[in-house]
């Protein structure tokens, strides 16, 4: 039996700058430990300035909470249908069920690995023929790569179905010089521990008006009415981000550009080292697109070779992960409608995410690529 003694190389670990502690200490010194306070306000302002598109940000406890509130703001409720990208993490779809609606899954296209515009329109027409108009579209920028925004927006406008843009993995990515998080009718971000910046746990809903933000914050703070006593006219949630965690976010925002640079440099290193191996494929950036390269992923010739690489990396205590298993293939969603073409299933079978954290050293990266080369 092999005993692993090498330090673990993680897929995407948190990377603190040191500045975060200043804002956290400030929260403690001023006793702002509640889910509101100066750090929350300042963190929201930092995000708004970065996105730079007249948006209004509500800082929340998670990206999942942001999707839930986004669906609420779009009026999605019991009995509705929501068209959702299938090739994504389950958190993109779970909130659809929270509001009593039903997800309808749409497969991917090979250029960006994201929601397929042709299948999306086919699904809309099919549901309209059945007398049902879907209430919203959830499109995801997978692994930091923007989806085909122009095509999805055109379909959204043609059928008057709003887009909830899942930008959980794409803070800092751009589509034709527009920041991801500003491309849908509403959008969400995630600051989970593995994201490009983190607040440990956290997320944000990106709104188009102050009224939308006010409603989101109202719902996120248990929907308490304006009264001297506790009075509630609608169901609310405990979704607001704490002032302590928002302090971490403020420090992280100060190094966001450095974190994006490091992730893109990781991708460039992998590509330069492994490009000579014909059996491997990398996801290219389409013209006009800038990806933060949150995770670098490779496509191998087969499931068997993918597993050989993954297990060889694990033998060296190196974390790697198969690409997302499509939601239409997940047991929990097995009875739900899907419009699939086999693309995401093929990506899942052949794809592998490589360590991509911004704290990786050149030695780490070289070691990872040597292991892969030893297999191929």
Model-level pTM? 0.96
* Residue pair 143/283 in contact by the 8 Å Cβ criterion: yes
State residue 53's pLDDT score: 80
SS3 per-residue string spanning the chain: CCCCCCCCECCCCCCCCCCHHHHHHHHHHCCCCCCCCHHHHHHHHHHHHHHCCCCEEEEECCHHHHHHHHHHHCCCCCCCEEEEECCCCHHHCHHHHHCCCEEEEECECCCCCCECHHHHHHHHHHHHHCCCCCCEEEEECHHHCCCCHHHHHHHHHHHCCCEEEECCCCCCCEECCEECCCCCCEEEEECCCCCCCCCCCCEEEEECCHHHHHHHHHHHECCECCCCCCCECCCCCECECCHHHHHHHHHHHCCHHHHHHHHHHHHHHHHHHHCCCCCCEECCCCCCEECCCCCEEEECCCHHHHHHHHHHHHHCCECCEECCCCHHHCHHHCCCCEECCCHHHHHHHHEEEECCCCCCCHHHHHHHHHHHHHHC
195 in active site: yes
State residue 292's pLDDT score: 98
State residue 1's pLDDT score: 42
Residue 223, Cβ density class (10 Å: 0-12 exposed, 13-18 middle, ≥19 buried): middle
State residue 5's pLDDT score: 55
Rounded to whole angstroms, the Cα distance separating 285 from 338 reads 27
Q: One of 122, 133, 135, 195 is an active-site residue; which one?
A: 195
State residue 313's pLDDT score: 98
Where the chain has pLDDT below 50, the residues are 1-3
The dihedral region occupied by 342, where left means phi > 0, alpha psi between -120 and 50, and beta the remainder, is left
Burial code of 224-250, b = ≥16 C-beta within 10 A, e = fewer?
A: eeeeeeeeeeeeebebbbbbbbbbbbb
Rounded to whole angstroms, the Cα distance separating 87 from 176 reads 23
Rounded to whole angstroms, the Cα distance separating 138 from 119 reads 14
> In the chain, what are the domains?
19-253 (3.40.640.10), 256-374 (3.90.1150.10)
* Residue pair 322/307 in contact by the 8 Å Cβ criterion: no
> What are phi and psi for residue 206, nearest 5 degrees?
-105, 115
């Amino acid at each position: 039996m092999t005993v692993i003694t090498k330090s673990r190389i993680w897929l995407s670990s948190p990377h603190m700058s040191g500045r975060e502690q200043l804002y956290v200490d400030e929260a403690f010194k001023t006793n702002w430990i509640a889910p509101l306070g100066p750090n929350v306000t300042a963190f929201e302002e930092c995000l708004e300035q970065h996105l730079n598109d007249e948006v209004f940000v509500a800082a929340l406890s998670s990206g999942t909470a942001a999707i839930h509130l986004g669906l609420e703001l779009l009026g999605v409720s019991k009995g509705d249908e929501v068209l959702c990208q299938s090739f994504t993490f389950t958190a993109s779809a779970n909130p659809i069920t929270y509001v009593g609606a039903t997800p309808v899954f749409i497969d991917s296209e090979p250029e960006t690995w994201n929601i397929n515009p042709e299948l999306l329109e086919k699904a809309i027409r099919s549901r309209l023929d059945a007398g049902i108009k879907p209430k919203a579209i959830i499109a995801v920028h997978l692994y930091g790569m923007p989806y085909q925004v122009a095509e999805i927006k055109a379909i959204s406008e043609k059928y008057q179905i709003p887009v909830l843009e899942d930008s959980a993995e794409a803070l800092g990515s751009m589509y034709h010089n527009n920041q991801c998080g500003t491309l849908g009718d509403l959008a969400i971000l995630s600051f989970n521990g593995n994201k490009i910046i983190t607040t440990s746990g956290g997320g944000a809903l990106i709104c188009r008006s102050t009224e939308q933000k006010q409603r989101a914050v109202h719902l996120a703070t248990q929907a308490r009415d304006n009264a001297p006593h506790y009075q509630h006219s609608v169901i609310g949630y405990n979704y607001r981000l704490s002032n302590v965690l928002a302090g971490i976010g403020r420090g992280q925002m100060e190094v966001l550009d450095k974190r994006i640079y490091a992730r893109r440099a990781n991708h460039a290193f992998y590509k330069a080292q492994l490009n000579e191996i014909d059996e491997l494929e990398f996801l290219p950036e389409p013209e006009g697109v800038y990806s933060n390269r949150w995770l670098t992923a490779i496509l191998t010739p087969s499931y068997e070779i993918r597993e050989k690489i993954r297990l060889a990396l694990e033998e060296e205590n190196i974390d790697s992960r198969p690409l997302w298993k499509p939601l239409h293939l997940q047991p929990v969603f097995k009875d739900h409608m899907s419009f699939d073409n086999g693309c995401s299933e093929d990506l899942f079978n052949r794809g592998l995410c490589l360590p991509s954290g911004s704290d990786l050293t050149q030695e780490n990266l070289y070691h990872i690529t040597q292991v892969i080369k030893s297999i191929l």
